[in-house]
Structure 1
Amino acid sequence: MKSLLLHIDGDSCMEARMQVALDIARATGAHITCLQAVSFEVFAPGDFYGSAMAAAMPKIKEAAEDLRKRIEDDLSNEDVSWEWQFLYGMAEHRLLEQSALHDVIIVGPNDIGEKGKGASRMVGELVLKAPVPVLVVPKSTKRLDVTAPMMVAWNGSSEACVALRTATPLLACASKVFLVSVAEETDKQRFDFPAVEGAQYLSRYGIDPEIVEVLRGDAKISDTLFSAAQMRDCSMMVMGAYGHSRLSEMLLGGVTRRSLSDPQLPMFLAH
């Protein structure tokens, strides 16, 4: 991966995803594009004449400039190639617009201004609409060791195939790759693409993955996958996102939504 699109914002996960971007850039010789998007679309009930908006704009701009200076000062001490893009507008819109000539979008797990657990609307929009994969980095991430083992969550779907294919440059750096499927007692033949086909694809890139099938038991599939990754000391999990319609995931809950609500490690997502 040679071109990383990094979302810049003053949220609590900024340091974590900056570190991950730096780790990937150093390992692969990639260029980091730092994209800072500032929106003045502030909803102020009863602000018919825009007075609250006018008062907020200087403060928003000052905060954005302070953040830029702080991060640029840090980047100036790093041995990586980078550039800065400052754009007005909603972050997801600007990230989508700029993603076409990048290899991956790096974001945090929360929407702008929101904290705590809960699937991010912005991440969902990016995963579904961007022409490139999305790497979601939780706050707890200290670094991304690309030489550590990595895990691919495999359910035989076309989304899983896309995720595996687009993650191949990073998987090639890993010391070990696991293709992990979650089995249930009621399962029938459920794979459009058996795990062995995913393994054959990776083998053409010199990657010899281990195929693993774990029993779900009483746990949620997302929890089972995170446990499987942690047991194998994986630094990242690759997953095909929104295999069902996004509406059904929102209404009924799904593996993607539950995983994004409380990610336990960096998640490389593609649809």
Structure 2
Amino acid sequence: MTYNSLFSVLTDESLVEETLAHATSIATRHDAHLDVLCLGVDRSQSGYYYSGASAIVLQETIARAQQEAAAIEAKARAVLKNSALRWGIESGVSQLADLGRHVAARARFADLVILPQPYGKGRGAELEPVTESALFEGHTPVLILPSEGETSPAPNRIMIGWNESNEALSAVRAALPLLKQADAVHVVVIDPPTHGPNRSDPGGLLSHFLSRHGVKVEIDVLSKTLPRISDVLQRHVRDMDADMVVMGAYGHSRFREAIFGGATRYMLEQATVPVFMAH
């Protein structure tokens, strides 16, 4: 199992160089084909305009999105033109409400989607639906690149956030090509249940599964000594000097995560290393 087809979505000209730098290094490592979708996003509310507005307003927003798409595509081609990679670029325009359909239609035919961090200063509102569309509608694992810090195409120390969920197991299965190449993989279990089939050996079945694939795995059982699970995970990332985090995405509903927060959202907001997610 390997990653032969990589996919990335660019919606912000300022993020083109850093996103493609990481994407091309990963594609080179796996000898993969890289497909890039350059989207200009019409962020106006579809069907709703202030009194007196006309088709001229709609045309203006579409024209602006077309200009953005052209600028993003030109910059992406400039980055990739001298690359030895096999790559392809497609550009287009989408309204914000319809963004997911375009992303999912292409993401579902990729092995891995590589995207910039959706939260943080200067990050557009479209980055979150792009990420969610790839995960939920595209049913494809996503690698989120942090806005700061380095990204290794071959991470040597990987941390798995393990909570026995189907989402976490899906992420582990999808990350196997990376886990098998790593020097150390730590399965992190926080406050395992005192009652349950795995109470005496938290993470044991997962470690057996991984070891049979040749993964060098260790189990770290931690206590929730900080207010949020994500805080404990982030602290352990620093303690073990991890190069990547593997975790399931959205154990709760996306609505609840958006309103109240959750491990997925907080991990993405605070990420200093790449986060590999699947649902």
- Alpha-carbon distance in 2 for matches of 1:159, 1:67: 33
Paired residues of 1:107 and 1:136 also in contact (CA < 8 A): yes
Distance across 2 between alignment mates of 1:231 and 1:29: 32
Residue 103 of structure 1 corresponds to: 111
TM-superposed CA distance for 1:190, in Å, is: 5.5
- Structure 2 counterparts to residues 123-162 of structure 1, below 5 A: 123-162=131-170
200, 204, 213: which one aligns with 1:196: 204
Deviation of 1:60 (Å): 2.8
Question: Which residue number in structure 2 is paired with residue 244 of structure 1?
Answer: 252
Residue of structure 1 equivalent to 2:32: 30
Task: Return closer, same or farther for 1:245/1:19 CA change in 2, 3 Å cut-off.
Answer: same
Quick one: which of 59, 66, 74 aligns to 2:64? 59
One-letter code aligned to 1:124: E
Q: Which amino acid letter does the alignment assign opposite residue 15 of structure 1? A: E
Quick check: 1:236–1:265 contact (8 Å CA) kept in 2? yes
Amino acid at match of 2:132: G
**Helix, strand or coil at the partner of 2:108:** helix
Distance 1:169 1:224, change over 3 A: same
Task: Please give the alpha-carbon distance, in whole angstroms, between the structure 2 residues aligned to 1:106 and 1:3.
Answer: 11
Match of 1:223 among 225, 231, 236: 231
How far did residue 194 of structure 1 move?
4.4
* 1:208 corresponding residue in structure 2: 216
Distance 2:74 2:13 in 1: 16
Confirm whether residue 17 of structure 1 aligns to residue 26 of structure 2: no
The answer on whether the counterparts of 1:138 and 1:266 sit within 8 Å (CA) in structure 2 is yes
Distance 1:147 1:266, change over 3 A: closer
Q: Deviations over 1:17-69 (max 9, x none)?
A: 32221121111111110012234463353364221222343333223212211
| AA of the residue aligned to 2:101 | H
Matched, 1:86 2:91: yes
How do 1:155-194 residues align onto structure 2 when only pairs under 5 Å count?
A: 155-183=163-191, 187-189=193-195, 194=202
Higher mean C-alpha displacement, 212-221 vs 193-202: 193-202
- d(CA) in 2 for partners of 1:47, 1:197: 64
- 1:40, 1:53 within 8 Å by CA — same for their partners in 2? no
Cα gap change, 1:219 to 1:12, in 2 (>3 Å):
farther
Structure 1 residue identity aligned to 2:223:
L
What percentage of residue pairs aligned between the two structures are identical?
25
The residue type equivalent to 2:194 in the other structure is K
Unaligned runs of 5+ in 1: none
Shift of residue 11, structure 1, vs aligned partner: 5.3
Residue 3 of structure 1: aligned partner: 5
Higher RCO (Cα < 8 Å, 6 or more apart): 1
- State the Cα distance separating 1:14 from its structure 2 match: 3.6
Q: 1:95 to 1:233 in 2, by over 3 A?
A: same
Task: Show the 5 A alignment for 1:65-84.
Answer: 65-84=70-89
Contact 2:66 2:92 in 1 (8 A): no
